[in-house]
Chain A
Amino acid sequence: MQNLNTTFIGIPISSPIVVGSCGLSSTVEGIEKLAKAGAGAIVLKSVFEEEILMEYEKNVLPNVGPMGNDLEFFDYYDYQIKTEVLNKYVQLIKEAREKVSVPLIASINCRSTSEWMAYAVKLEEAGISGLELNLFRLPFHTSQTSEQLEDEYITIINKIREKVRVPLAVKISPNFTNLVNFARRLSATGIQALVMFNRYFNIDFDIKNEQVISGGAYSNAAEYMLPLRWTSILSNRLECEVVASTGIHTGEAAIKMLLAGARSVQVVSAIYKNGPTHIRAMLHDIDSWMKEKGYESIDDFRGNLSQTMADNPEIFERVQFMKYFSDHKA
């Protein structure tokens, strides 16, 4: 086996395959399986403030009895739910720590700045190796400018940075007006890694019943091209690590991301589809390719095709097909 060591949020890890935040890591047994299959690090399932608030609204408040006699009991029950959810998460971290040696990264998604801070502090106390901020909110406010939204994200990171000392990763969406500029701003906050990109819940329509339904949950193997472009563009432009995510289903896709300059890659959908042992298969493919190419370590080839290193850097900035379609015959 070639040397597959790399780092994630500055922490040495034994393979570049990091399991992204997902339900597979919501139990100790699941975490053990992922670690055994060769994951370099595991990002635990995100704690969502929104889920806590939804439970409060849907399952708690309707229980307020007649004449509101128990309103005092339920008035702040959202905080009780939060406490229970975080305590359960902390328990998972502690139990998993006993079983596996790979770094365990907590993941959070909050609505308000103050809650981001509170969750981060609590999870740091639990002994996590690092924290991933699942930083995205669908921008609904018509009066909020993109700059204001970006400022809000930066404020959240700075506040968390003030309170916690564990390494931070920030996972973002590709939907920013000037991604390069914003990525640099994020990196300048002192985060250790920028994860590109998060994949979100999609909606779809059932035209037979004319209903809104949830869209496909998994990424497909062609989706890797978007993160590939941006990893290549940003990997040598940021102080922090760049971690590629979305559509990485094969060892080949992982190799491409490493060539683009990613320090590691996050994989979820392929593991859901093929099981934890798929990690082993991806690592095998990476190893075989490295042997074939004569690379002894990942550092030997990382970033070879990043924009700054590539022979044709202008291609990364091309977005229009131009002559392609006029020449292309179906």
Chain B
Amino acid sequence: MAVSPEFLKAEREQPWRVELRSKMKNKERTALTRVHMNEVDARERILSNIEVNQGLNQVQAMAEAQRCLDCPNPTCITGCPVEINIPKFIKHIECGNFADAAKTLKETSTLPAVCGRVCPQEKQCESQCFYTQKMNAEPVAIGYLERFAADWEQNSGQMAIPEQAPANGIKVGAIGSGPAGLTFAGEMAKKGYDVTVFEALHEIGGVLKYGIPEFRLPNRIVDVEIDVLKKMGVKFETNFVVGKTANVEDLQEEGYKAFFAGSGAGLPRFMEIPGENYIGILSSNEYLTRVNLMNAANPTTDTPIISGKRVAVIGGGNTAMDSVRTAKRLGAERAMIIYRRGMDEMPARVEEIKHAQEEGIEFLTLTNPVEYLADSQGRVSQVRVQKMGLGEPDASGRRRPEVIEGSEYLIDVDTVVVSVGVSPNPIVPDSLPDLKMTRWHTIEVNDDNLQSSIPFLFAGGDIVRGGATVILAMGDGRKAAAAMDEYLQKNQ
């Protein structure tokens, strides 16, 4: 999928790009200040699930696009896992050709409206921007512009249905409807395959729906993409757990020739500390899924979630931020992040941390739970934490957390959300005894084509990577589709 320098150079030398560059000197471009994302005020947004980031308007987007220098050596592309032609789509925005900008994005990214919202651009493309690398200045807001172009397409009512090859009648299955599975389905549908997506939950979208809250990624954004797939003929089977409802062999008997496993990482991890089984302690997976997909925030539902007033969320990743900000929106008076390292070591996106801080989330960093205490009913009432110090950097380059003995103290809580990571979903692998797995319980695949030890099974996304960004999962879906197509054509 690598973009050759020659190709990029040829694209850059197209007359419209040359002309655009000549309209404004680089000095003028670099003198512009980076646009600020329009946001709903923190006091207002914590009262509902309204999306926090409101996107850029056309004027803002075109102004920000002017900052891009259209570099001869666009290092930003090297920071993008799917190598979006970043200068090209940005220059289209500068010209006001928003449809072309969206089209450029879709050349390599299936879900740009999603990626524009949830990808960690500050660690990826924006970290490699000329402004960051050479000027020690704020990078071009690539993520904001990506979102702008994708949203423009969605709102224009001109969502293009991709061209499709004539139907070949070959049935293939995607296991899981997250970003990897959806991308795979779209790519295979384009190639003329008869694609069915099997989703264990009652909603399509996987982690995009159950894991990421509405205030960060509205469901309607995902639904637009799902509608496109439906129009392309992709079929969806919800409430269908491959490995339980039916296994792969059953589906083969129904005529499926190959499968793509993109069933994600849905197995929550815990810390195995005393008291972790008390009532009121749950995983972030359960917490977010119940709120996002099961309407559990509504007390009149069959299985409402208890809206704790003192909620502690353990962990420092994006899922932890999503959980603690959800708790705030459910009425928590004290919503806390408890994280054993410092702010600088948190895996969460800088933007999510900033939003959380604005919303009044407390950050108890260098603090780690060691035990939970319960009331007479077995309901969690306190967490015993200990203070941590930071030692020398470890192999990840972050400073190592070290226990400060004798520093323990108690915090009153009534809900605890454990958000210390997830493991790959074991149901599909467990149903396939011959499937080779890695030490991390992920599916072992050939890196070149994502084919597993079972030739007709390809895999990608979190079930292969453990933890992947949406864009990496999408890239896997795309790569696996190409490889599966080749495999099926050879084996017909």
Contacts and interface: CB of A to CB of B under 8 A. Distances in A.
B486 to A, nearest CB: 26
A57 B440 CA distance: 15
Interface string A221-232: 000000000000
Contacts of A74: 396, 421, 466-467
Interface string A92-133: 000000000000000000011110011001100000000000
B269 A68 contact: no
Interface stretch (B31-39, B120-128, B144-152, B324-332): B120-128
A8 to B, nearest CB: 26
Given A71-B347, A76-B421, A118 B315 contact: no
A73 B469 contact: no
A102 to B, nearest CB: 28
A273 interface: no
A155 B403 CA distance: 15
A61 B395 contact: yes
A67 B79 contact: yes
B84 to A, nearest CB: 15
Given A67-B123, A70-B467, A77-B421, A118 B395 contact: no
Contacts of A80: 269, 421, 423
A70 B468 contact: yes
Interface string B427-469: 0000000000001100000000000000000000000011111
Contacts of A68: 123, 347, 396
Contacts of B274: 117-118, 121, 163
Contacts of A111: 403
Contact of B468 (A64, A69, A86): A69
A82 to B, nearest CB: 6
Contacts of B123: 67-69
B79 A70 contact: no
Given A57-B395, A79-B269, A114-B386, A72 B120 contact: no
Contacts of A62: 395-396
A113 B405 contact: yes
Interface string B362-395: 0000001011000000000000001000000011
Contact of A61 (B386, B396, B420, B472): B396
Nearest to A63: B440
B79 A73 contact: no
A71 B396 contact: yes
A147 interface: no
Contacts of B468: 69-70
Interface residues of A, number: 36
B421 A69 contact: no
Nearest to A59: B439
Contacts of A121: 274
Nearest to A122: B272
Given A73-B421, A80-B423, A114-B273, A64 B396 contact: yes
A118 B370 contact: yes
Given A72-B467, A80-B423, A86 B371 contact: no
B269 A70 contact: no
Interface in A29-75: 57-65, 67-75
B271 A76 contact: yes
B315 A73 contact: no
B131 interface: no
Interface string A121-158: 11000000000000000000000000000001001000
Contact of A76 (B81, B269, B386, B400): B269
Contact of A118 (B124, B273, B348, B469): B273
B397 to A, nearest CB: 8
B61 interface: no
A70 B421 CA distance: 10
A83 interface: yes
Interface in B265-282: 265, 269-274
A106 B467 CA distance: 34
A118 B272 contact: yes
A248 to B, nearest CB: 34
A307 B363 CA distance: 59
B236 to A, nearest CB: 28
Contacts of B469: 69
Interface of A: 57-65, 67-77, 79-80, 82-83, 86, 111-114, 117-118, 121-122, 152, 155, 163
25 contacts: A65-B465, A67-B120, A67-B123, A68-B396, A69-B469, A71-B317, A71-B396, A71-B467, A72-B318, A73-B265, A73-B421, A73-B467, A74-B467, A76-B269, A79-B420, A80-B423, A86-B272, A112-B403, A112-B405, A113-B405, A114-B403, A118-B271, A118-B273, A118-B370, A163-B274
5 closest A-B pairs (Cβ-Cβ)? A73-B467, A72-B317, A61-B395, A114-B370, A76-B420
